Amino acid sequence: MPSLGANTVAILIALGSFPVSLGLTRFFMYWNSRHGIIGIDVHKLNRPKVPEMVGAAVPITLILFAAIYTLTGGASSIALLAYSLVVGLAALVGAADDRLKMRGIFKPVLTLLCGLPLLILGLAFPGEIYASTLHVPLFGSYHLPVIYPLTILVAVSVTSNTVNMLDPLNGSMAGGISIVAGGLLIGSLLIGAGSMPIFLYASLMFSMLGFLYYNRFPARAFAGNVGQLSIGASIGALAILGKTEIASIVAIFPNIQNSFFFLSRIRRFTEHRELTSKPTKLLPDGKLADSEDPRAPLTLVRTLLVGRPATENEVVSTIWMLFLTSTSLAVITLLLTGVTL
Amino acid sequence: MNNRAIGYELVVFVTQWGLMLLGFGILTKFVAQLNLLNPSLSLDLYFDAAVKALIALVLSVAWLFIWDRQVRLYFHKRGR
């Protein structure tokens, strides 16, 4: 197996993301509570107050460990700088949205700009960030010198916002993205990818697990837009840097379905808090149910509740199972990328 | 866990995965090979890319349309 040593070192360094993310999450829970940065968990009967924007722990951990990995000489500093800038910019957009409650259209527009470091550094240092060649499973590859650089901006915006849209229940996003990162890490190891994407996928997975410890049911921390957008941007940037573009799309099928049905019904970019027709409702026994409102979007959670109410924990377990399914298909996609009919 | 929902979603995901790979296959084997305009002219490179991107966009819309119909068939109509 090529560069087993480098990959092992990469994973061992990335392992440090778990305790750091865990500690930072605990710190932000305390600090945000003290400063009144709290949200209400509307899917519980007693509507508990939960510290918001705690997901900031994840981008900070990712950037910190990208810097540490650069210092160890593990990978190209240009690529890791681009990755850190993308994650950092998306976190800033998310933080601004959390504090200023911007209109729904601003997030997709501003996150388009978050992909700029990948594009600019890619143009300045050819071959360090992207290669403009798309490798397609079973069918070979083709060169996209004009389209590929432009799709980078769209890719980061789409992944950021689609991850942002599928975090309605405790642990649904954190658990789902942990599974995606873990699956793509395994896939990258199986196809003998370079140590940089392996490190970044491992770092993302361990950071997410650290945050998930406090975000799982019953949540003691909410990610906020700062966490959701930066984690989504990380998936988008990794798809480019790790050459896992098509597999990454497959892995986030649950997010894509959720966003598509939300947008196709609402027909505009808007915030969940601005929706007048809610897709789900809370029953007196604490279970969640389909709202049966024909004007409400058919979100992923709603599809799982059609005709059968369920507890929040059951719905989240089902969402994780869906991520496991899509991520398994993503790993197969990665394995098929080297095969040509 | 809602096993029936997982089962339906599994069918949806596998179908969409297959269609997506087929779509990328069409782009690789047919669309990317097309020489729509004279590539020696610098501006024509961009027109060529734009036309191919438009074809990719049409394929993506068709993919999402099928996804939409499939999910509605499995979930929405059962909820009524």
Per-residue confidence in pLDDT tens, chain A, 341 aa: 444 589 999 999 999 999 999 999 999 999 999 999 999 999 999 999 999 999 999 999 999 999 999 998 877 899 999 999 999 999 999 999 999 888 878 889 999 999 999 999 999 999 899 988 999 999 998 888 889 999 999 999 999 999 999 988 999 999 999 999 999 999 999 999 889 999 999 999 999 999 999 999 999 999 999 999 999 999 999 999 999 999 999 999 999 999 988 887 766 666 666 666 788 999 999 999 988 888 888 889 988 888 889 999 999 999 999 999 999 999 999 999 877 76
Contact residues on chain A for B72, CB-CB shorter than 8 A:
298
Please state, in angstroms and rounded to a whole number, the distance separating the CA atoms of residues A187 and A66.
21
Provide the pLDDT for residue A177: 97
Provide the pLDDT for residue A294: 82
Provide the pLDDT for residue A206: 98
Provide the pLDDT for residue B80: 45
Do the Cβ atoms of A11 and A198 come closer than 8 Å? yes
Provide the pLDDT for residue A285: 93
Provide the pLDDT for residue B66: 93
B43 touching A, CB under 8 A?
A: no
Residues of A near B (CB-CB distance < 8 A)?
A: 134, 136-147, 246, 249-250, 253-254, 257, 260-261, 264, 290, 292, 298, 303-304, 306-308, 310, 314-315, 317-318, 321-322, 325-326, 329, 333, 336
Computed over its alpha carbons, how large is the radius of gyration of chain B?
A: 18
What is the distance in angstroms between the Cα of A137 and the nearest Cα belonging to chain B?
Answer: 7
Q: Is the dihedral of CA B8, B10, B11, B12 positive or negative?
A: positive
Nearest in space to B67 (alpha carbons), one of B14, B24, B7, B4: B14
What's the gap between Cα B7 and its chain centre?
22
Q: Which residue has the tokens 């929902």?
A: B5
- What type of residue is A54? V
Provide the pLDDT for residue B1: 66
Tell me the per-residue pLDDT of B4-47, one tens digit each, with 9 for 90 and over.
878 888 999 999 999 999 999 999 999 888 877 666 666 777 88
Nearest CA in chain A to B11: A325
Cα dist. A341→A190, A336, B16, B25, B26 in Å?
A: 20, 10, 20, 10, 13
B28: nearest CB among A142, A250, A290: A142
Provide the pLDDT for residue A157: 96
Contact residues on chain A for B71, CB-CB shorter than 8 A:
257, 261, 298, 303
Q: Which residues of A221-252 are buried (b: 16+ CB within 10 A; e: fewer)?
A: bbbbbbbbbbbbbbbbbbbbbbbbbbbbbbbb
- pTM for the model: 0.93
Q: Which residue has the tokens 């997030």?
A: A107
Provide the pLDDT for residue A297: 84
What is the distance in angstroms between the Cα of B28 and the nearest Cα belonging to chain A?
Answer: 6
ipTM: 0.88
Provide the pLDDT for residue A49: 95
Helix pair A147-165, A253-266: axis angle to 10 deg: 80
Neighbours of A127 (CB within 10 A): 9
Nearest in space to A132 (alpha carbons), one of A116, A151, A115, A157: A151
Cα dist. B65→A45, A53, A254, A257, B54 in Å?
A: 38, 35, 16, 11, 16
Q: Which residues of A22-45 are buried (b: 16+ CB within 10 A; e: fewer)?
A: bebbbebbeebbeeebebebebbe
Give contacts of B 6-35 with A, CB under 8 A.
6, 9-10, 12-14, 16-17, 20-21, 24-25, 27-29, 32
